[in-house]
Amino acid sequence: MKVNVSEATGKVLDLLVAAAEGIPLRKAVRATNADVEHMAVPFELFDVEVIFRNDKPVSAKVRQIKVIRYGIAKDVAATAPSITFIDSKGQKAWGSVDLFFLDKEEAELEALAAVKGEFEYFHPSTDREQGYQIVEREKMLVMWDATNQWKCVFTPNMNEPHFYYRYYSATPLIAAMRCYVTKKFGNEVEVPDELLR
C-alpha cells in the first residue's frame, strides 16, 4: 500500500521512521524443538553474541554452534528435550534449542535488533527521547508557524537551498518525523500490507 508521508501518523509513521533508521520491523524467530526433532545430529544452529559498553549494546555478532546431542537427558531426570553443543570457541555446553536460531538470517535480524532496538518499543513520533535524538542528529529545523501548527523544514541538497520540504502537524515530533522519512524515502512510500495490521 502506498503511504503519503504528509498524512502518516501513529504506528505507520513510527514504522516508516524505523525503516529509515534500519530497525528490524519484526522479531527474529527462534528455533523450536519441532524444528530440530527430526534433524540428524550433528547439526548447526546460530547464536548472537552482544557486546556491551557502559550497559549499552555496541555491537553484535552471529556465531555458529554445533549441536552434538538432542533429546531428553534421562541421566539427569529431565522431562523436556535439551541440546549439548559446541560453541564458536570450542567449548561444550548444554541448553535449550529456543536459545538459538535455525538459520543465519534470523540470527542476523536478532543481532540488528540488539544494537538498533526493536520496533515494538520504537515510537519516535510520540516519544521525545527517541524523536529528538533524530531531530538533533539530522539537524532539522522545527518551529511554530503562523498557521498555528508545528512546521519542520529541511533542504535535501544544500547546493539548492531554494528547494526544500516542509511538513506541518499538531505536534513537533510528527512534523519532524515526516520530514525525516521524506528525506530518506521520498513523499510516498510503499509499505507491505501485513506491516499495517
The boundaries of the domain holding residue 93 are 33-116
Q: Are residues 128 and 112 in the same domain?
A: no
Q: What is the DSSP letter of 27?
A: P
Q: Are residues 174 and 103 in the same domain?
A: no
Confidence of residue 162 (pLDDT cuts 50, 70, 90): low
Whose grid coordinates read 570450542?
90
User: Which H or E element spans position 10?
Assistant: helix 10-21
| Domain count for the chain | 2
Q: Are residues 149 and 98 in the same domain?
A: no
Among 17, 29, 7, 16, which residue's Cα sits nearest to residue 109?
29
Q: Are residues 37 and 102 in the same domain?
A: yes
E-assigned strands of 43-187? 43-53, 56-72, 81-86, 92-95, 141-144, 150-154, 165-169
Whose grid coordinates read 519484526?
26
The model's pLDDT over 79-100, given as tens digits with 9 standing for 90+, comes to: 899 999 999 999 999 999 999 9
Q: With H, G, I as helix, E, B as strand and everything else as coil, classify residue 68.
A: strand
Q: Are residues 66 and 112 in the same domain?
A: yes
* Rounded Cα distance, 94 and 77, in Å: 15
Residue 146: partners with Cβ closer than 8 Å, 6 or more residues away: none
Confidence of residue 197 (pLDDT cuts 50, 70, 90): low
Confidence of residue 123 (pLDDT cuts 50, 70, 90): very high
Q: Are residues 56 and 89 in the same domain?
A: yes
Cα 143 to Cα 124, 158, 173: the distances in Å are 18, 20, 11
Last residue of a domain, one of 116, 131, 165: 116
